[in-house]
Structure 1
Amino acid sequence: MTAGAPLVPCVSLGDAWGAVQGTEWILHPGAPALPGVEVSRQAAVGPRFHVDLEALPERVHLLRVLLALPEEAGGPGRFGATAPPSVAVSHAGGAGIAAFTLTGLDTESAVIALELYRRHGAWKVRAVGQGYAGGLAELLADQGVPRASAVAADIRAAVARRVTGTVRPPLPDAPVPAGPARAGTGVPGGEAGAGGTIDYTHPGRSTSPPRAPASPPASASARPPGTPPPAASPGPRRQPEGPVAVVAAGWSMDERLYNQVWAMFEDLARSVAAFRSAVGFAESRMDRELDRVLSDPRHRTGPAGGAAREAARAEHDQLVARAREVLDRDLAQLVAESEVVEPALPPAYARWDSPVWHAYRVPTENPMALRLGDVHLPERPGLRIPMLVRLPLERGLWVDSGRTASEAGAAVDGDQLRLMAMETAVRVAGRLLAVHPPGGFGVHVIDPVGTAAGPLAPLTGAGVLAGPPGAGAGGVAAVLAGLTRRVDLVQMAIRGGAAESLPPDLDTAEQLLIVNDFPHGFDDRAVTQLRYLADEGPAVGVHLLMVADRADARAYGPVLDPLWRALLRITPVPDDHLADPWVGHAWTYEPPAVPNGSRVLLDVLGHVASARQAWRL
């Protein structure tokens, strides 16, 4: 590890739920060693961490590498004032596993550099890069460390005194080794690219790592994903021999499955990133070798030059083959996990062809997330990860019906593409209705010229719409006026603390507005109201689902740019337009599909309609 200023090295250990059980689970220069792990004994520009994964206690399932800037006069005080730290993970023999630079840090003075964590009996590497402007005290507090401020002060004092600590007593239930902690033996099962150091730059995570709460919250839906159960819950947990449907932490089964799907997404992203970096390294190395050969006139021609070129290409092929072997191993594990996770998913997360819909019952509680389709990468197109979004929706959706938006769309007839876009919107709306309790979700439709009558048939036939689709200029104005009034009234009630004063005829359930063929039928006032709903609606339970071709609204120019940016774009045909901000992959999105000839959507909407009638009685 290298940096532009001295760094205080620390390590925190977590249990199966990611919780730090006490101050004895923190290593730092004043207490630098525990069974299986040792840190540098003072602040240094190049601090080192030694990990022996086999010697770690069974209770340890997570190891976080922490870095902090010393609080000393004349020091940089923040990471933005020094060169970004670079981290490298390697085996004991020196073979590189991963390397990345902690970019995007500014006012932060402490950072979680990386994590080592157990998953299905193997150890994985995760680049994190989460910084804390409040320093080490804020970082430790965010991990649920008791007396975080006091612990941070002890670490600072130890660094100031350059104390060399002794080996502390082992963690509870930990085996006692014959001597001090051994040097690192590497990270088996980590995302290692063949052929040298991987350039694995990580822009940083937008969320804080999991923290063990003091007591269970009142509602599981109010917690961010990944929040572990309290530290008093289960102790040691052995990893299963093979993939199982539920291994992630969470307060409920839905939350645990949600976290497991997210972990599968992360694993696929990291494995492919490591493979691509390793291939890039092999190609750059071959190019350097070829340049060296060609730069020497004696080797440009003749047997010596040919042999050198063949050797460079052979080495390239060997490095790529080793990287592919590692990738295939990781992908095989993810495929096996997907095969057991997919059948266990609840209706909110399941595909429309899942057997779970055959035993469908209208739920009594809101779900925490919704499946909008699948995503996959070209290295393994058959490995599809569910694309889950948290509920309630934080932003609206836009089903792009434009042929010019992608190559896949250009291959489809324009009218057919618009029909497919509306069918996608109906499937999303049907799922939202199906996963909410009776009366908990309402759907409105604007269809100015009636072109969506066919795709809307499942919703209109079941009678689950809040009212008839708005047609013509008058219908558009009426629907928008009603939803705008709802947003205004709920906002005023919340700001005034008078929710009980809302009119009795106001439906306070979550609402979804489907808009087809925008901007047909919209005047300037209607466009302004639509933008208002997109901006202000989600905070008070009014969500937008646009089915539109952006080119149709080009007459408005940049006025509508904020509207399109506010919506999550999905497509009615597979398209690689989704990019994650973590490693920068372009993910191919697959829209939700109902099997040909299946009545699953009609049957589910029939159950929803029956439950609504019973609820109203």
Structure 2
Amino acid sequence: MTAELVRGQNHPLTQVRLEIRVSAGAPIVAGATLGDEDGRIHGTEWVAHPGSPTLPGLEVSRQAAADHRLAVDLDAVPEAVHRVSVLLALPTGVGGPVRFGALAAPFVAVTGLDGSEVASYTITGLDAESAVIALELYRRQGAWKVRAIGQGYAGGLAELLADQNLPEAGPLAGRINEAVAQGLARSVPAPPSRTADTSDRHRPQTAPAVGPDQNGTAPTSPYGTQGAPGPVPPTPPAAPYGGQPPQNTTPAQGDPSATGGGVNYSHPRRQTAPPPPAPPAPPAQPGQPGQPVAGDATGWSMEERLYNQVWGMFEDLARTAAAYRSAVDFADSRMEKELDHVLSDPRSRIGGQGDAAREAAQAKRAQLVDQARAGLDRDVAQLKAESDVVEPALPPAYARWDNPVWHAYRVPMETPMALRLGDLRLPEAEELSIPMLVRLPLERGLWIDSGQSPSLDGAFHDSHELRRLALDAAVAHAARLLAVYPAGDFTVHVIDPAGSGAQALAPLVQTGVLAGPPAAGAAGVTDVLGRLTQRVDLVQMAVRGGAPESLPPGFDTSEQLLIVNDFPHGFDDRAVNQLRYLADEGPSVGVHLMMVADREEASAYGPLLDPLWRSLLRLTPVPEDHLADPWVGHAWTYEPPLVPPGSQVLQQVLTQVAEARRAWNR
């Protein structure tokens, strides 16, 4: 699996013979430097460039090109080499771009000899820089790793090489530019875009039939319902001088258009135009970041733009936190290395040399951490400003319960793209919360864990309090699902064997939005599970048989949600098996499960229920850092979307849902 690195992040290398691939939108210069354990370059002979492309274990391109492949053999580099830095620069004096900000972001990938990518890095954020250290391969404790650097230099190669303590930086940069100028005629430019003439060269040169996506109308949303395209009547030609068009429009014999012309290869429902661009942001003050705008992302609708913008905020926070953590790790390892180097000499332990070295190393570490923290604070401040603009603009499906948008709530006519299940935070930015949005329809069931777990704020909740909070969270989730679906398109069932959740379930029961009273006792559990299991079987048989119209008359085709409270009380072995069946097979046919349970109370079943818990998305009624994203690996703190104390918004929304259901006889 390829590791997509962010600036400052590292990744272990399991191979020693590698290829570094570079892609850019214009011819650039690629080179590399060899550094010792302290990162110093001993001389120009430790720099591989187009004028001297080969070093032991390293070979770079001999000319400027839009694409490069650098060969690296880490076993063949000299023993004194502990760092291999990959350099990119724009050629000077050839009339090309003079800054990376005018090009697409360069892409660098570390691959094996078989072409499989080990790690990749897209160098973003470049503007006036004309040279950049893309990444470095470094050796630590006998193992090689790759780190994304992305350090740019506006002064070009000379400034870059001088920053690496190379005395002959200026003359060497001149020789590199001279070698590039001599070989620029052989550079490989970016491939030109294919024109319509060349792309359709193999097709018949006849007039194509007019398709639904070629009539000049604006494309419709991919999430809207589209009917089958009908025939497009031919448009009579206009009279050349404003008179009446000719009445005889019968095509002549032999005219290719008489048979409909050439074959239309376009998909009848595929969008041929990209989504409309995001709205432009207002101009920023000089030296200040741009003002955030709600919906500042691509998408066919405002809802899709906001969804993509929230997802972008999540990615940005994950990236900047990963860069900060990697920078802190680098500062710690550098301090340890410096202390080991100084204290390895017994003479430095006598007197105050050891203390002075320790203080200097700690001061340098603090400086590096402060720099990383300043970058993190800057990024978090920008994200916080964007969040302050985006939150008030979110639709009900994405909004918190305290958002004023709920005061103007109306039952929707279409199902939204996604649903908010809570908020996500990171410990480095406690003041910033990112909405946790999941796509609809749900692909997994939900498990509201009512068991004891470590609290982040140190507060202690007894078992009864946790059960109450868990059921309150389940009711809030169910109410949100009912509110975002059209009237009658979502049905909720409740199993409460002992009746212990009567108080928390009161909003659902009193407003009449449930399919029936909460099922109590073993008989109620058996009845509800039997009906939903039969429903899953019927829909699966109809879908697999390709005959959905064969469902019984009056069959309820709405999405179904089953809330189970106090599991496993009231469940026998048959009911447990039916519950597992619903969790596995239900989501694909519109039957979803929401468990409010403590796993410890079901421990008597042993490993039998392990697949059930794994199939559900675990949520908690109190904040807990149990959600880990597979992209970067952060442990995100989840906060449930509870209704503010004393607010009547939940009751008001459910009342409107119930009235709309009665109006539709659902």
> Under a length normalisation based on structure 1, what TM-score does the superposition of the two structures give?
0.71
Match of 1:295 in 2: 344
Match of 2:23 in 1: 10
Match of 1:39 in 2: 66
1:286-325 to 2 correspondence within 5 Å? 286-325=335-374
Pair 1:528 & 2:603 matched: no
Match of 2:78 in 1: none
Residue aligned with 1:244, SS: coil
Looking at structure 2, the residues matched to 465 and 403 of structure 1 have their Cα atoms a distance apart, in angstroms, of 30
Looking at structure 2, the residues matched to 471 and 53 of structure 1 have their Cα atoms a distance apart, in angstroms, of 74
Instruction: Report if aligned partners of 2:110, 2:120 keep a CA contact under 8 Å in 1.
Output: no
Looking at structure 2, the residues matched to 335 and 97 of structure 1 have their Cα atoms a distance apart, in angstroms, of 29
Which shows bigger deviation, 513-522 or 289-298? 289-298
Looking at structure 2, the residues matched to 64 and 166 of structure 1 have their Cα atoms a distance apart, in angstroms, of 15
1:147-546 to 2 correspondence within 5 Å? 164-165=186-187, 167=189, 218-219=222-223, 231=273, 240=282, 241-404=290-453, 411-546=460-595
Looking at structure 1, the residues matched to 188 and 664 of structure 2 have their Cα atoms a distance apart, in angstroms, of 67
Looking at structure 1, the residues matched to 592 and 148 of structure 2 have their Cα atoms a distance apart, in angstroms, of 37
Match of 2:596 in 1: 547
Summarize the Cα distance change of 1:376–1:221 in structure 2 as closer, same or farther, 3 Å threshold: farther
Match of 2:611 in 1: 562
Shift of 1:266: 0.6
Shift of 1:9: 3.9
Shift of 1:310: 1.4
Shift of 1:404: 4.4
Instruction: Report if aligned partners of 1:11, 1:66 keep a CA contact under 8 Å in 2.
Output: no
Summarize the Cα distance change of 1:233–1:422 in structure 2 as closer, same or farther, 3 Å threshold: closer
Shift of 1:309: 1.5
- Give the AA of the match of 1:397: L
Deviations 1:27-68 (A, max 9, x none): xx99x98xxxx63455645986547795655xx7x6462759
- Give the AA of the match of 1:374: D
- Give the AA of the match of 2:107: V
Q: Which has the higher contact order (CA 8 A, sep 6+)?
A: 1
Summarize the Cα distance change of 1:495–1:562 in structure 2 as closer, same or farther, 3 Å threshold: same
Looking at structure 1, the residues matched to 534 and 347 of structure 2 have their Cα atoms a distance apart, in angstroms, of 82
1:57-206 to 2 correspondence within 5 Å? 63=105, 65=107, 76-79=113-116, 84-85=118-119, 164-165=186-187, 167=189
Summarize the Cα distance change of 1:589–1:523 in structure 2 as closer, same or farther, 3 Å threshold: same
Looking at structure 2, the residues matched to 379 and 317 of structure 1 have their Cα atoms a distance apart, in angstroms, of 17
Alignment equivalent of 1:604, drawn from 648, 653, 658: 653
- Give the AA of the match of 1:419: R
Instruction: Report if aligned partners of 1:39, 1:50 keep a CA contact under 8 Å in 2.
Output: no
Instruction: Report if aligned partners of 2:66, 2:187 keep a CA contact under 8 Å in 1.
Output: no
Summarize the Cα distance change of 1:85–1:431 in structure 2 as closer, same or farther, 3 Å threshold: closer
- Give the AA of the match of 1:79: S
Deviations 1:282-332 (A, max 9, x none): 111111112222211111131322221211111111111111111110000
Residue aligned with 1:525, SS: helix
Deviations 1:376-427 (A, max 9, x none): 0111212010011111000000000001476779810110110000000000
Pair 1:587 & 2:636 matched: yes
Instruction: Report if aligned partners of 1:362, 1:437 keep a CA contact under 8 Å in 2.
Output: yes
Which shows bigger deviation, 301-310 or 427-436? 301-310
Bigger Cα Rg:
2
Looking at structure 1, the residues matched to 219 and 186 of structure 2 have their Cα atoms a distance apart, in angstroms, of 37
Deviations 1:174-210 (A, max 9, x none): xxxxxxxxxxxxxxxxxxxxxxxxxxxxxxxxxxxxx
Shift of 1:511: 0.7
Shift of 1:236: 10
Instruction: Report if aligned partners of 1:534, 1:566 keep a CA contact under 8 Å in 2.
Output: yes
Shift of 1:86: 6.6
Looking at structure 2, the residues matched to 465 and 507 of structure 1 have their Cα atoms a distance apart, in angstroms, of 14
Looking at structure 1, the residues matched to 122 and 222 of structure 2 have their Cα atoms a distance apart, in angstroms, of 42
Which shows bigger deviation, 510-519 or 231-240? 231-240
- Give the AA of the match of 1:10: S
Shift of 1:594: 1.0
Looking at structure 1, the residues matched to 301 and 462 of structure 2 have their Cα atoms a distance apart, in angstroms, of 45
- Give the AA of the match of 1:39: A
Summarize the Cα distance change of 1:42–1:288 in structure 2 as closer, same or farther, 3 Å threshold: closer
Instruction: Report if aligned partners of 1:88, 1:100 keep a CA contact under 8 Å in 2.
Output: no
**Structure 2: tracts of 5 or more residues without a match:** 6-12, 27-59, 73-84, 91-96, 139-146, 151-183, 195-217, 227-269, 283-289
Residue aligned with 2:664, SS: helix
Deviations 1:562-598 (A, max 9, x none): 0000000000001111111111111110001211111
CA RMSD of the aligned region, Å?
A: 3.7
Summarize the Cα distance change of 1:230–1:325 in structure 2 as closer, same or farther, 3 Å threshold: farther
Looking at structure 2, the residues matched to 337 and 97 of structure 1 have their Cα atoms a distance apart, in angstroms, of 29
Match of 2:664 in 1: 615
Instruction: Report if aligned partners of 2:425, 2:433 keep a CA contact under 8 Å in 1.
Output: yes
Looking at structure 1, the residues matched to 458 and 610 of structure 2 have their Cα atoms a distance apart, in angstroms, of 21
Summarize the Cα distance change of 1:457–1:525 in structure 2 as closer, same or farther, 3 Å threshold: same
Residue aligned with 1:511, SS: strand
Summarize the Cα distance change of 1:115–1:566 in structure 2 as closer, same or farther, 3 Å threshold: farther
Instruction: Report if aligned partners of 1:513, 1:545 keep a CA contact under 8 Å in 2.
Output: yes
Which shows bigger deviation, 291-300 or 511-520? 291-300
Summarize the Cα distance change of 1:239–1:44 in structure 2 as closer, same or farther, 3 Å threshold: farther
- Give the AA of the match of 2:17: G
Shift of 1:254: 1.1
Residue aligned with 1:372, SS: strand
Instruction: Report if aligned partners of 2:86, 2:134 keep a CA contact under 8 Å in 1.
Output: no
Alignment equivalent of 1:576, drawn from 617, 621, 625: 625
Shift of 1:244: 0.8
Residue aligned with 2:636, SS: strand
- Give the AA of the match of 1:555: A
- Give the AA of the match of 2:497: P
Shift of 1:4: 2.8
Looking at structure 2, the residues matched to 54 and 68 of structure 1 have their Cα atoms a distance apart, in angstroms, of 24
Match of 1:152 in 2: none
Among all aligned residue pairs of Structure 1 and Structure 2, give the percentage whose two residues are the same amino acid. 59
- Give the AA of the match of 2:310: V
Deviations 1:138-165 (A, max 9, x none): xxxxxxxxxxxxxxxxxxxxxxxx9934
Summarize the Cα distance change of 1:609–1:238 in structure 2 as closer, same or farther, 3 Å threshold: closer
Looking at structure 1, the residues matched to 508 and 536 of structure 2 have their Cα atoms a distance apart, in angstroms, of 24
Which shows bigger deviation, 469-478 or 46-55? 46-55
> Under a length normalisation based on structure 2, what TM-score does the superposition of the two structures give?
0.66
Looking at structure 2, the residues matched to 254 and 546 of structure 1 have their Cα atoms a distance apart, in angstroms, of 29
Instruction: Report if aligned partners of 1:577, 1:589 keep a CA contact under 8 Å in 2.
Output: yes
Instruction: Report if aligned partners of 2:447, 2:595 keep a CA contact under 8 Å in 1.
Output: yes
- Give the AA of the match of 2:379: D
Q: How many aligned residue pairs are there?
A: 484
Shift of 1:12: 6.8
Which shows bigger deviation, 425-434 or 285-294? 285-294
Looking at structure 1, the residues matched to 225 and 321 of structure 2 have their Cα atoms a distance apart, in angstroms, of 32
Summarize the Cα distance change of 1:322–1:387 in structure 2 as closer, same or farther, 3 Å threshold: same
